[in-house]
């Protein structure tokens, strides 16, 4: 049985690979037919593609002699029907062909940036990359140096001439919560000790807990700002303590001695002054009151991790940071106490003026919204018309509305920054903004972003949170750094179309967008189109348990899989794929249809399923984590693991990792942060090393099959 299932899985994988190749061919054909660039030694290279529920977006980057032209690219989105449905471009036709051999080194460019910006203290983040640059009225070869440092607020871009070492420009490219001027240098305080703390190299991932504001204390108690729910210089009281919620902190780091707020998606970091540390402790319970600095650290971790898990698991949209090996970093205490927060380069910094920003989930999720926008566009988020500001406001309000504490009759229902703002400190923002597009634009990105957030939440009220959230993320993934609100609206609606939303849902986007003033291409939705709407696994059986300890399992389990659809094609085959495979003829098929006894390999993991009609690409549906295999499917029981903590070293690693405290033979699996298994190997006391040289740079999870052990490591 194992060989048959493996063959079927291989066939499914081959079909998926061919589908990807076909989509890429479709995108390239469109590019060749629609974009002409005949300048010598200039071309387009497909350097990034992103697959999602709506299809795949291919990003073609303009190059000169193989060197990327800064901010000159074309994105081509190909739907699951293998059709180009959306394109966006920042292609700069005026770029000249120049010599692309630098006269200075990356280190020279970094030192030039440090001198010009007068950087003092630790540099917490830096990136240096060679570009052809055409933003200063002349095509030049430059190094673009981006830095975040201890005593200089912001995320700074320094453009250095790669021929002469002259600094051509400096610019703070961080995205801020509000309009306060924080782009200034901080005077280092005497007695500031240690900018960062050294963490142990070998660690495992365990669950912890925390007491946090989820939601904020005003929302949880449906109160307005004032005594006893006021900041009062960060003091606590019995009412604020009672407004906390106990939550689980999933998969935080444990090195055998100390627990750290670091997981597969998010990690705490010391990025800016003041240096308050990483709050490592010998207990997995991060229970603080709001007057303790550890409260903001735990509150931030919970909301960031919860939101990213919701995207990857509940929405089924693969999404992770572009930076730091796929892990988003945050500093809960930054800006030297200033009342502002920012996103830049995969890092979040939260200020402490007024209500501490990291105490308000609206601030946390708003700044995360910028990061999500950055990640889905491969670093090409747009602030045209305040698009990214509106996206951040939407993301924060979408979650808070979903909790159901406020009603549409309450003013606070529409508040963004409802605990940090709308008080004596600053007025906050709203999602019932009445301005129309484009006449109501003011030129202020924070003000204009409210138009975008408001119209998205009008759709949210009609089609619900998950459908709107998914369409926003998938739609923005098709856009680029020059996209305005109108073109983003077209992309978001197109994502809904490409994800086979119902006609009512698609029409909701059309009606609300057009009522707000956006002009959209005509689209007539066909309610009779075929669509698969749901997949559910049930009656999951126990395994046959015929495997042997230390050897790959031949076990399998069965499940009944029910597919619900509307308007199937007249002819063709309905295919169910995942870890198991089944097919049924369309002829005479009624909805819902149940596949009885579909066999799955016994890996003890989650069942991810998809269904489609072979003759109609619109009839497809993916349902991530539909069900869970029985624990008895494991070849080893949890109790078979030795008491000694299994760990790995070195971490980070370049070519090889080794496991320590191995006393018997295990099968281990390595997964990337998208949940894809990239390597499987047997290990034992004589062979405890794993070759990772062929893995790409990033963060990975190593699971010891048959145990509860999951280890995290970074491939350099």
pLDDT tens track for 546-570: 444 334 445 666 777 787 777 766 5
Q: Residue 531's pLDDT is what?
A: 67
Q: Residues 567, 534: contact at Cβ < 8 Å?
A: no
118 and 78 housed in the same domain: no
Three-state secondary-structure class, residue 74: strand
Statement to judge: residues 490 and 602 lie in one domain: no
Quote the crossing angle between the two packed helices 445-463 and 485-498, to the nearest 10°: 20
Beta strand pairing status for 710-715 and 259-260? unpaired
Q: How many whole angstroms separate alpha carbon 177 and alpha carbon 413?
A: 20
Q: Are both 272 and 327 inside the same structural domain?
A: yes
- Cβ-Cβ contacts under 8 Å for 494 (sequence gap 6 or more): 54, 77, 85, 86, 475, 478
- Domain endpoint, select from 173, 190, 223: 173
- Specify whether 627 is located in the same domain as 664: no
- The whole-number pLDDT of residue 582 equals 60
Q: What tens digit of pLDDT does each residue of 227-253 get? A: 999 999 999 999 999 999 999 999 999
Same domain for 312 and 266?
Answer: yes
Cα distance between residue 661 and residue 657, in whole Å? 14
* CA-to-CA separations, 532 to 114, 175, 541, 593, 610, in angstroms, rounded: 56, 40, 25, 11, 9
Residue 284 and residue 234 in contact, taking contact as beta carbons nearer than 8 Å: no
- 79, 111: one domain: no
Residue pointed to by tokens 């991530």:
624
pLDDT at res. 18 = 43
Residue 272, classed as helix, strand or coil, is: coil
Question: Whose CA is closest to 231, among 59, 442, 425?
Answer: 425
The verdict on 646 and 622 lying in the same domain is no
Per-residue pLDDT, 519? 97
The b-or-e profile of 279-297 (16+ CB within 10 A means b, else e) is bbeeeeebbbebeebbbbb
* Closest by CA position to 146, among listed 99, 100, 106: 106
Does 434 share its domain with 509?
yes
Q: Where are the alpha helices (DSSP H) in 411-502?
A: 445-463, 465-476, 485-498
668-694 core/surface letters (b: 16 or more CB in 10 A; e: else): bbbbbbeeeeebeeebeeeebebebee
Q: How far apart are CA 234 and CA 419, in angstroms?
A: 13
CA distances, 353 to each of 49, 235, 289, 427 (Å): 41, 13, 18, 14
* Cα gap 215→311, rounded to integer Å: 19
Measured in residues, the chain has a length of 716
Decide if 572 is inside a domain. yes
Predicted pLDDT of residue 677 = 76
Residue 540 sits in a domain of what CATH number? 2.60.40
* SS3 sequence of 194-256: CCCCCCCCCCEEEEEEEEECCCCHHHHHCCCCECCECCCCCCCCHHHHHCCEEEEEEEEEECC
Q: How far apart are CA 154 and CA 409, in angstroms?
A: 39
Phi, psi of 658 (to 5 degrees): -130, 145
Specify the pLDDT at position 1. 28
For residue 616, what are the contacts with CB-CB under 8 A and spacing of at least 6? 530, 569, 572
Show the domain range for 460: 204-516
Inter-helix orientation angle 485-498/465-476, to 10°: 120
Under DSSP, is residue 396 helix (H, G, I), strand (E, B) or coil?
A: helix
**Region class of 514: left (phi > 0), else alpha (psi between -120 and 50), else beta:** alpha
CA dist 588 and 611 (Å) reads 18
CATH number at residue 133: 3.10.450.40
User: What angle separates helix 361-376 from helix 465-476, to the nearest 10 degrees?
Assistant: 40
Terminal CA-to-CA distance of the chain, rounded, Å?
39
Does residue 98 lie in a domain region?
Answer: no
| Backbone dihedral angles phi then psi of residue 452, each to the nearest 5 degrees | -65, -45
**pLDDT for res 637:** 28
Domain finish residue from 484, 516, 548: 516
User: How confident is the model at residue 568, as a pLDDT?
Assistant: 63
CATH of the domain at 39: 3.10.450
CA-nearest of 679, 684, 686, 687 to 713 is 679
481, 32, 524, 622 alpha-carbon torsion, rounded to 10°: -70
If asked whether residues 431 and 502 sit together in one domain, one would say yes
Residue ranges of E strands in 19-83: 42-52, 55-64, 67-78
Residue 451 belongs to a domain: yes
Structural domain total, the chain:
5
| Dihedral, CA of residue 419, residue 422, residue 425 and residue 426, to nearest 10 | 120
Give domain status of residue 704, yes or no: yes
Distance CA 400, CA 428 (A): 15
Q: Do residues 592 and 629 both lie within one domain? A: yes
- Collapse the DSSP code of 163 into the 3-class scheme (helix H, G, I; strand E, B; otherwise coil) and give the result: coil
* Residue 88 β-bridge partners: 75
**Number of other residues whose CB lies within 10 A of the CB of residue 639:** 6
Report the alpha-carbon distance of residue 675 to residue 320 in Å, rounded. 11
Question: What is the distance between the alpha carbons of residues 82 and 617, in angstroms, rounded to a whole number?
Answer: 8
CA gyration radius, the chain: 26
Q: Is residue 197 part of a domain?
A: no
d(CA 615, CA 81): 10
- What was the pLDDT predicted at 640? 31
In this structure, are residues 343 and 403 in contact, taking their beta carbons and an 8 Å threshold?
no
Query: C-alpha distances in angstroms, 695 versus 638, 648, 653?
Result: 29, 17, 11
CB half-sphere exposure, 554, CA atoms < 13 A:
7
How far is the C-alpha of 171 from the C-alpha of 169, rounded, in Å? 7
Residues paired with 157 in a beta bridge: 146, 171
Last residue of a domain, one of 481, 516, 551: 516
Q: Provide the CATH number for the domain around residue 508.
A: 3.10.170.10
* Distance between CA atoms of residues 553 and 315, nearest Å: 31
Residues 610 and 544 in one domain: yes
> Are the CB atoms for 465 and 398 separated by under 8 Å?
yes
* Contact predicate 175/370, CB 8 Å: yes
Q: Is the residue at 99 inside a domain? A: no
698, HSE (Cβ side, Cα atoms, 13 Å): 17
The dihedrals phi and psi of 107, each to the nearest 5 degrees, come to -65, -40
For the sheet with 666-672, list strands across it. 677-683, 666-672, 698-704, 710-715
- In sequence order, the 6+-apart residues with CB closer than 8 A to the CB of 348 are 300, 304, 328, 329, 330, 331, 341, 342, 364, 367, 368, 371
350 and 422 within one domain: yes
| Residue 266 within any structural domain of the chain | yes
Residues of the chain with pLDDT under 50: 1-20, 179-200, 545-553, 604, 634-643
In a domain, 569, yes or no: yes
């Amino acid at each position: 049985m194992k060989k048959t299932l493996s063959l079927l899985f291989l066939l499914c994988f081959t079909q998926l690979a061919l589908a990807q190749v076909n989509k890429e061919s479709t995108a390239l054909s469109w590019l060749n037919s629609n974009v002409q660039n005949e300048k010598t030694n200039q071309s387009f290279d497909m350097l990034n593609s992103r697959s999602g529920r709506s299809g795949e977006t291919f990003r073609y980057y303009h190059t000169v002699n193989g060197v990327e032209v800064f901010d000159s690219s074309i994105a081509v989105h190909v739907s699951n029907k293998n059709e180009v449905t959306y394109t966006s471009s920042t292609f700069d036709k005026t770029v000249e062909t120049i010599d692309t051999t630098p006269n200075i080194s990356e280190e020279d460019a970094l030192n030039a940036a440090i001198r010009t910006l007068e950087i003092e203290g630790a540099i917490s983040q830096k990136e240096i990359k060679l570009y052809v640059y055409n933003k200063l009225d002349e095509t030049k070869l430059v190094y673009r140096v981006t830095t975040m440092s201890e005593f200089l607020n912001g995320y700074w871009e320094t453009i250095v001439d790669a021929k002469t070492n002259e600094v051509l420009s400096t610019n703070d490219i961080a995205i801020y919560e509000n309009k306060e001027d924080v782009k200034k240098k901080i005077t280092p305080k005497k007695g500031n000790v240690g900018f960062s703390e050294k963490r142990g190299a070998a660690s495992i991932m365990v669950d912890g807990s925390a007491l946090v504001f989820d939601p904020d204390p005003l929302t949880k108690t449906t109160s307005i700002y004032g005594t006893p729910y006021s900041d009062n210089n960060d003091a606590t009281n019995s009412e604020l303590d009672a407004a906390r919620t106990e939550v689980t902190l999933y998969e935080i780091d444990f090195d055998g001695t100390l627990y750290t707020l670091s997981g597969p998606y998010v990690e705490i970091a010391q990025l800016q002054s003041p240096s308050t540390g990483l709050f490592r402790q010998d207990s997995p319970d991060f229970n603080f009151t709001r007057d303790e600095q550890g409260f903001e650290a735990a509150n931030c971790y919970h909301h960031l991790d919860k939101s990213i898990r919701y995207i990857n698991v509940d929405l089924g949209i693969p999404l992770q940071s572009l930076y730091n090996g796929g892990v988003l970093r945050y500093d809960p205490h930054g800006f030297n106490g200033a009342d502002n927060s920012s996103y830049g380069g995969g890092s979040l910094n939260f200020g402490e003026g007024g209500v501490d920003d990291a105490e308000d989930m609206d601030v946390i999720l708003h700044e995360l919204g910028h990061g999500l926008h950055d990640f889905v566009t491969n670093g090409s988020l747009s602030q045209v018309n305040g698009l990214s500001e509106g996206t951040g406001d939407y993301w924060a309000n979408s979650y808070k509305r979903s909790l159901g504490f406020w009603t549409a009759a309450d003013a606070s229902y529409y508040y963004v920054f409802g605990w940090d703002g709308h008080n004596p400190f600053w007025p906050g923002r709203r999602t019932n903004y009445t301005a129309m597009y484009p006449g109501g634009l003011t030129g202020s990105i924070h003000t204009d972003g409210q138009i975008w957030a408001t119209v998205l939440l009008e759709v949210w009220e009609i089609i619900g949170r998950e459908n709107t959230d998914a369409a926003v993320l998938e739609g923005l993934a098709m856009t680029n750094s020059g996209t305005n609100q109108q073109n983003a609206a077209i992309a978001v609606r197109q994502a809904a179309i490409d994800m086979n939303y119902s006609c009512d849902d698609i029409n909701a986007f059309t009606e609300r967008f057009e009522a707000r003033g956006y002009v959209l291409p005509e689209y007539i939705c066909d309610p009779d189109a075929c669509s698969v709407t749901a997949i559910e696994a049930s009656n999951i059986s126990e395994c046959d348990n015929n495997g042997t300890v230390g050897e790959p399992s031949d076990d399998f389990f069965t499940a009944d899989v029910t597919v619900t659809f509307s308007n199937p094609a007249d002819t063709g085959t309905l295919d169910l794929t995942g870890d198991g495979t089944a097919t049924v003829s369309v002829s005479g098929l009624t909805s819902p249809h149940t596949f009885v006894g579909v066999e799955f390999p016994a890996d003890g993991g989650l069942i991810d399923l998809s269904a489609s009609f072979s003759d109609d690409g619109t009839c497809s549906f993916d349902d991530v984590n539909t069900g869970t295999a029985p624990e008895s499917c494991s070849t080893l029981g949890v109790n078979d693991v030795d008491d000694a903590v299994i760990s790995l070293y070195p971490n980070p690693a370049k070519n090889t990792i080794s496991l320590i405290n191995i006393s018997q033979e295990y099968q281990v699996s390595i997964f990337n942060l998208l949940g894809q298994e990239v390597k499987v190997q047997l290990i034992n006391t004589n062979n405890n090393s794993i070759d990772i040289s062929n893995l790409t740079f990033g963060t990975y999870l190593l699971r010891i099959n048959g145990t509860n052990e999951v280890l995290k490591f970074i491939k350099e």
